[in-house]
A and B are shown apart, each in its own frame.
Chain A
Amino acid sequence: MRVACLDAPAFPLQLLRRANPDWAGQPVVVVDEDRPQGRVLWANAEAFRCRVLPGMRYAAGLSLTGELRAGVISDEARAAGVAMLVEHLRRFSPHVEAAAEQTGTFFLDAAGLVSLYGSLETWGAQVLATLAELGFEATLAVGFSRFGSFAGARGLQAEEAASLRVFADVAEEQAVGRAVPLERLELDPALRESLHRLGVHTLGAFLALPPAGLQTRFGEAAAALHRWAMGTRFDPLRPVAPPPDLWRRLLSEHAETDATRLLFLVKRLLDPLLRKLAERHEALLEMRLIFTLDRGEKQIHRLRPAEATLEAPLLLELLRLRLENLALGAGVVELFLSVRGVRAHAEQIRLFQETPRRDLAAANRALARIRAELGEAAVQQCCLKPGHLPEAGFTWQPLEKLPLASPHAEGRRRVVRRLLARPVRLPPVPRHLRNDGWIPLDPAAGAVVRLDGPYVVSGGWWHAEQHREYHFAHTRRGDVLWVYYDRARRRWFLQGTVE
């Protein structure tokens, strides 16, 4: 297992610097509130040189240097920055985790990347180059455990020699990790001071302390750090789930200019997106439609319903209004539709989800009406039961309530016989069959030309014994009659037909 840790030190400060590129070379601090009494949270090297330190009030910093620049990085901005970096890092590894405890620290699954990039050094260099292009400074360590790679990345910041380190084996990872100064691990200042007083300055010295004593003397935070560093904590990689592809694209081979046809093309894109939103228990808040015109131009349209919805007709109405008043200038050769959703109410989801087309309750009500009007015997069902004779293979039962059908998934195409309510007595087979022919039922059907069988069925031995010899009689017209010869009565009977 190979795990990489990417650490962007002073992440809020980097976000502020990235948002204000003209502040380069000036003392910059991140404050918690945008007012003179705001407390300094982060300070860059220039601010440190002017003795502006974290914990000071912004007004106090200004008294030290009039060039001091300050800004607030909200939680939302920080989360957006993390999400942006995760999105970029996902190009290099399928599993990217943004550490919850240390904002600006990311863990990447680096297993199996050597065959793709040649070496982990090449891979790491490309990751760092991408971050540099985005305006972030970071260090990257590729190790064998989460804490080992994390300590390696923090150790690189202390050394300030290189920004990439790939550990060859676990021993090297542990050796480097033990030398990392404690102040690089973002410990609680009080804990760090206590440890310093005991002469514990590095991670190796910290790990040498007895874990039971740590819990007692320094609390749960110190014990948790010790467990994490020793590898005794269950600590799998927890990658951020990739966002769903809430977009669809459609290419048209010819340039489309007609608004109605365009509307139907957009509908083809919209319907699956609405289904996907419903699956995520979201409703559409906004949709973005990009038309690529025949001459290469792009037209971007944003549409927002009055409130988040999953109703396609409402959205299509908005689209129609937009498209009808659209001056395209050229035909559309590509359509791109992306949607943005928000958490939907349960009622919205329930309405959108495909309800059964038929109402089983209404079916039962109809059957109840028939029962009430025509009697209980009017509504029945067939129930199969074991029996040798055809009429004994099923029974009639009143149908109280129509259930939801559960047919066999893979039906069989099979010939079905028709069963007469009562067997019909047939004329006997003539003695001179060759001359006269046996016309059992309908003269129009012609004489029997072939007789399959017999297949003997017997039953009712204790009451009235039945001994039947079943045949399939093929007539000249093509009828297939299901007949039997009753041995006891010495007569032929028609049981049914094959249809």
Chain B
Amino acid sequence: MALAAVATPEIRPTLEERGQPEIIPLDAPWQGPDDTSDADDAPFEDVAEDVTDEAEARAPSPAQARLLRLPIARVKPKRVEAPAWSLSTLSGRLVELSSVGASAALSFTAQLLHEAQRQGEPVAWVQARDSLFHPPDLAATGVDLRALPILRPASPGDLGKIVGHLLRSGAFGLIVVDLSDGEAERALPAPLQSRLERTAALHGTCVLCLTDKAADTGSLGPLVSWRGEARRVSARGAVVRAEVVALKDKRSAPGWHCAVEFERVAGMT
């Protein structure tokens, strides 16, 4: 097993390269970030080729390397883990996914639910609005509905109690809180958000709040660790292309986005 040479300048992909959305084709296997498959490595390898060429151009010549006692080796850049829409990126955080209009929030949430269940993480859905995902649609994405408890608070005050109980147990990897428009801030006041944020970080749980908001409106509060917008971008044939854009990210720079192609429902063109 060879280690990368560190004597040469550290080469990283440029911000533009990192910012390119990673488009996941529909026929690609659905895998979580922990899967170490070739498909997972492929996007990085493309970047690595370009960066390697650039690094070679800047690398010292063999004569210089001999003088500097540097190893004359092909420079391989360090792997830069770009954030992605995955449970590993969002775990231990208070997350808000909002959208209005051409929304794709439920589709991205279904992807996250399936990933969590595949990793053996119990999940829960807190339904704080009148509408719900269409259960057959969610089951069609591969999510096991039998293992998805749906908690229905009778009042906004109950919402905090429910999420608090779930989080304090430390037994859930993902808790989706489906908040209604206008009620979101009232249902999750700042003190409650503070408690939720601390407990989520303690247990490595992702608390995902779904809200109906435009991108230019503020997030639930300053304690939200990540906020993004999920929107449909285009439609082609039987495929809808959607992307999630990070509007706020306390762990890495905001602005990164992840594009995914979704299969349409029958009858939709």
A residues with CB within 8 A of B:
249-254, 356-363, 365-367, 369-370, 373-375, 377-384, 390, 393-394, 399, 402-422, 445, 452-453, 455, 470, 472, 475, 477-480, 496-499
Contact = CB atoms under 8 A, between A and B. Distances in A.
Nearest to A252: B3
Given A251-B2, A369-B165, A480 B132 contact: no
B114 A499 contact: no
B142 A408 contact: yes
Given A405-B120, A414-B141, A421-B131, A366 B168 contact: yes
A495 to B, nearest CB: 9
A250 B265 contact: no
Nearest to B129: A421
Given A413-B24, A416-B138, 8 more contacts: A381-B148, A407-B144, A407-B147, A412-B141, A414-B137, A418-B132, A477-B102, A478-B232
Contact of B165 (A356, A359, A366, A399): A366
Contact of B122 (A360, A378, A475): A360
A337 to B, nearest CB: 12
A253 B131 contact: no
A453 B267 CA distance: 7
B142 A360 contact: no
A472 B146 CA distance: 29
Given A363-B172, A411-B141, A420-B130, A499 B105 contact: yes
The CB with the most chain A CB atoms within 10 A, among B102, B134, B264, is that of B134
A254 B134 contact: no
B122 A402 contact: yes
Contacts of A363: 122, 169, 171-172
Nearest to A395: B135
Contacts of A420: 130-131
B104 A382 contact: no
A367 to B, nearest CB: 6
26 contacts: A249-B1, A252-B2, A363-B122, A367-B149, A370-B165, A373-B161, A374-B153, A374-B162, A378-B153, A378-B162, A393-B135, A403-B147, A406-B144, A407-B114, A410-B142, A412-B141, A413-B261, A413-B262, A414-B262, A416-B110, A421-B131, A421-B132, A453-B267, A472-B269, A477-B102, A497-B131
Contacts of B165: 366, 369-370, 373
Contacts of B122: 358, 360, 363, 402, 405
Main secondary structure of the interface of A (DSSP, over half): mixed
Contacts of A378: 151-154, 158, 162
A395 to B, nearest CB: 9
B173 interface: yes
A470 B104 contact: no
A452 B238 CA distance: 14
B106 A418 contact: yes
Pairs A-B, 9 closest by C-beta atoms: A478-B102, A411-B142, A408-B142, A405-B147, A363-B171, A366-B169, A499-B106, A362-B171, A405-B117
B139 to A, nearest CB: 6
A367 B136 CA distance: 24
B87 to A, nearest CB: 12
Contacts of B109: 416
Most-contacted residue by chain B among A379, A406, A418 (CB, 10 A):
A418
Given A382-B148, A393-B135, A406-B144, A499 B107 contact: yes
Nearest to B102: A478
B244 interface: no
Contacts of A373: 161, 165
Contact of A472 (B137, B230, B267): B267
Interface string B248-261: 00000000000011
Contact of B131 (A384, A409, A496): A496
Contact of B5 (A253, A415, A419): A253
A411 B142 CA distance: 5
B123 A405 contact: yes
Contacts of A252: 2-3
B7 interface: yes
Interface string B51-82: 00000000000000000000101000000000
Contacts of B202: none
A362 B170 contact: yes
B3 A253 contact: yes
Contacts of A479: 101-103
Contacts of A377: 152
Contacts of B104: 415, 499
Contacts of B173: 357-358
Contacts of A393: 134-136
A379 B268 contact: no
A417 B121 contact: no
B234 to A, nearest CB: 10
A389 to B, nearest CB: 12
Contacts of A496: 131, 134
B30 to A, nearest CB: 4
A381 B144 CA distance: 11
B29 interface: yes
A352 to B, nearest CB: 18
A417 B262 CA distance: 12
Nearest to A364: B171
B99 interface: yes
Nearest to A358: B171
A498 B261 CA distance: 15
B143 interface: yes
Contacts of B146: 381, 383, 403, 405
A265 to B, nearest CB: 8
B15 interface: no
B144 A370 contact: no
Contacts of B153: 374, 378
Given A359-B171, A363-B171, A407-B143, A416 B106 contact: yes
B257 to A, nearest CB: 16
